[in-house]
Amino acid sequence: MQKTDEEYREILTPEQFAVLREKNTEPPFSGEYDGLYADGVYACAACGQVLFDSATKFDARCGWPSFYDAKPEAVIFHTDDSAGVSRTEVTCSNCGSHLGHIFEGEGFNTPTDQRYCINSLSLKFTPSETKQDNK
């Protein structure tokens, strides 16, 4: 069941709503996850579906969190001609929220040669649980 805009406004900050539901982009180098490289997973901030694993995150030096792959069936791709150039938009497959864009063939040394350029505001990071030493 999809939420209404009013329901999303109740659970998201105004900045998150602008990115996730209105397809805005946060300013480069402003997001809390751009420089985060801890172990864990990144989920959609609107619905909680896990989208990316930290093992696929890399430093593209572009100002937004970058991943070279998404979780299977977690995202959907759409043609986006809104900026005067053709790009591929990435949305959450569960709730349809805007996450960012994907770029290919940029020459990054990654297994897929893809860069998912994702807004920090569209994500929620959950660190991996660490095993406690019981000695």
- Condensed to tens digits (0 to 9), the pLDDT of residues 111-132 reads 999 999 999 999 999 999 864 4
> Do the domain assignments include residue 119?
yes
Residue 65 contacts residue 43 (beta carbons within 8 Å): no
> Do the domain assignments include residue 23?
yes
> Do the domain assignments include residue 65?
yes
CA gap 124, 14 in Å, rounded? 16
- Dump pLDDT digits (tens) for 72-98: 999 999 999 988 889 999 999 999 999
- Dump pLDDT digits (tens) for 21-33: 999 999 999 999 9
92-106: average pLDDT: 97
> Do the domain assignments include residue 132?
no
* pLDDT of amino acid 135: 39
Question: Which residues does residue 129 pair with via DSSP β-bridges, in sequence order?
Answer: none
> Do the domain assignments include residue 79?
yes
Question: Which structural domain, as residue segments, surrounds residue 17?
Answer: 5-127
> Do the domain assignments include residue 62?
yes
CA gap 43, 48 in Å, rounded? 5
> Do the domain assignments include residue 134?
no
* pLDDT of amino acid 97: 97
* pLDDT of amino acid 1: 65
Q: Which one from 47, 92, 95, 117 is the annotated catalytic residue?
A: 117
Q: How many domains does the chain have?
A: 1
pLDDT tier for residue 2 given thresholds of 50, 70 and 90: confident
Residue 26 is part of a domain; what is its CATH number?
Answer: 2.170.150.20
117 noted as active-site residue: yes
Instruction: Report the side by side order of strands in the sheet with 75-80.
Output: 57-58, 66-67, 114-118, 98-104, 87-92, 75-80
> Do the domain assignments include residue 133?
no
Report whether pLDDT(101) > 80.
yes
- Dump pLDDT digits (tens) for 37-68: 999 999 999 999 999 999 999 999 999 999 99
pTM higher than the cut 0.85: yes
